[in-house]
Amino acid sequence: MAKDLSAKDIERAKFVFSIYDFEGNNTVDAYDLGSCLRALNLVPTEKVVEKLGGQKKKGQKKLKVDEFLPLYAECKKDKDIGNVEDFTEVLKLYDKNENGMMYYDELKHILQTLGEKLEGSEVEEIVKDCAEPADDEGLTTYTLFLRKLMAGPYPGDED
C-alpha cells in the first residue's frame, strides 16, 4: 500500500513520524496518530482515526514507521474533505438575512455541542484566529472564517 505514496509523501511522512517519536526509538504512540495524519494535511474525523488504530489514551499502543505509512496511504484516499461551497451551503441555514453573516454564538454553539465536540478554549482560539470579531449585533462572516480555517495556520508555506 505504501506504493500509493510518492517519494516526497514518504519523506514528509517520515519527517512527521520522527517529530512525534518522543522516545527516540522509532515508534510513535498511537495516541498521536491523529496529530500525525493531520500534520500531513489530511482531515480525518476522530472516528476515522480510531478506526485506523488511534488510541484515546497514551501508552496503549505503539506504531512503527512501517505500520504508519500504510495508515497514511489509506487515510489519504478519503476524498471527502469538504470544500468551502459545502460549508457555505450548510451555514446558509443560519444566515437568515442572506448576507453571509451568522451569529458568532451559534457558530460556537455548533462546534461545542454537535459532532466531535471541541472544547470551549479551542473554539475561542480558532475563532480568534480565523473569524473577524463579532460586530455589535454579534454577527460574523462565516465564509471568511471557513476560508481561513481551510487555508491552515501558515498559508503560503509549502508544508
SS3 33: helix
Q: Nearer to other proteins by C-beta: 36 or 52?
A: 36
Q: Nearer to other proteins by C-beta: 69 or 101?
A: 101
Q: How far is the CB of 50 from other proteins (least distance, A)?
A: 10
**Measured between alpha carbons, how far is 121 from 118 in angstroms, rounded to an integer?**
8
Using CB under 8 A as the binding rule, whether residue 80 contacts other proteins is answered as yes
> How many DSSP H helices and E strands does the chain contain?
8, 4
Q: Nearer to other proteins by C-beta: 10 or 73?
A: 10
Q: Nearer to other proteins by C-beta: 120 or 153?
A: 153
Torsions phi, psi of 101, nearest 5? -120, 150
Among 53, 56, 117, 135, binds other proteins (CB under 8 A): 117
Burial class (CB in 10 A: 0-12, 13-18, 19+), 142: buried
Among 5, 9, 31, 38, binds other proteins (CB under 8 A): 38
Provide the residue type at 108 as one letter: K
Cβ atoms of residues 35 and 59 within 8 Å: no
Q: Nearer to other proteins by C-beta: 74 or 106?
A: 106
Give the CA distances from residue 134 to residues 81, 84, 88, 103, 157, in Å, rounded to whole numbers and listed in that order: 27, 20, 18, 8, 28
Among 9, 67, 74, 106, binds other proteins (CB under 8 A): 106
Applying CB under 8 A, which residues contact other proteins? Answer: 11-12, 15-16, 19-20, 23-25, 34-39, 41-47, 80-82, 86-87, 89-91, 93-97, 103, 106, 110-111, 113-118, 122, 125-126, 128-129, 146, 149-150, 152-154, 157-159
